[in-house]
């Protein structure tokens, strides 16, 4: 798995996942359940990851969607 972005912004994360889904790239959110230990405050970033084989295509899709400043 390759991390494409880390963010605390759940709306941004949802949008990025929708972009990837539209182009047929499966994605996974890591650290989503960390809110249990942080008290649901949303201070710890979640990571958007894709398979290594999909990394370049996923980056292109997110760049085309205007998310260049949010990518790792």
Mean pLDDT of 4-30: 96
E strand or H helix at 52: none
Look up the pTM and report it. Answer: 0.87
Please give the CATH topology (third level) of the domain spanning 2-70. Alpha-Beta Plaits (3.30.70)
pLDDT value at residue 35: 59
pLDDT for 33-63, tens place per residue?
A: 875 666 666 678 899 999 999 999 999 999 9
Strand, coil or helix: 66: coil
What's the distance, CA 31 to chain centroid? 11
What residue segments make up the domains of the chain, in order of their start?
Answer: 2-70
Helix H or strand E encompassing 70 = none
Residue 72 scores a pLDDT above 90: no
Using CA atoms, how far apart are residues 23 and 20, in angstroms rounded to an integer? 5
Nearest-angstrom CA–CA distance, 46 and 38: 12
């Amino acid at each position: 798995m390759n991390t494409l972005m880390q963010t605390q912004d759940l709306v941004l994360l949802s949008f990025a996942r929708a972009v990837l889904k539209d182009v047929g790239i499966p994605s996974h959110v890591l650290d989503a359940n960390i809110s249990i230990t942080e008290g649901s405050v949303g201070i710890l970033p979640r990571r958007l990851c894709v398979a290594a084989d999909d990394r370049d295509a996923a980056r292109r899709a997110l760049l085309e969607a205007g998310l260049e400043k949010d990518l790792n």
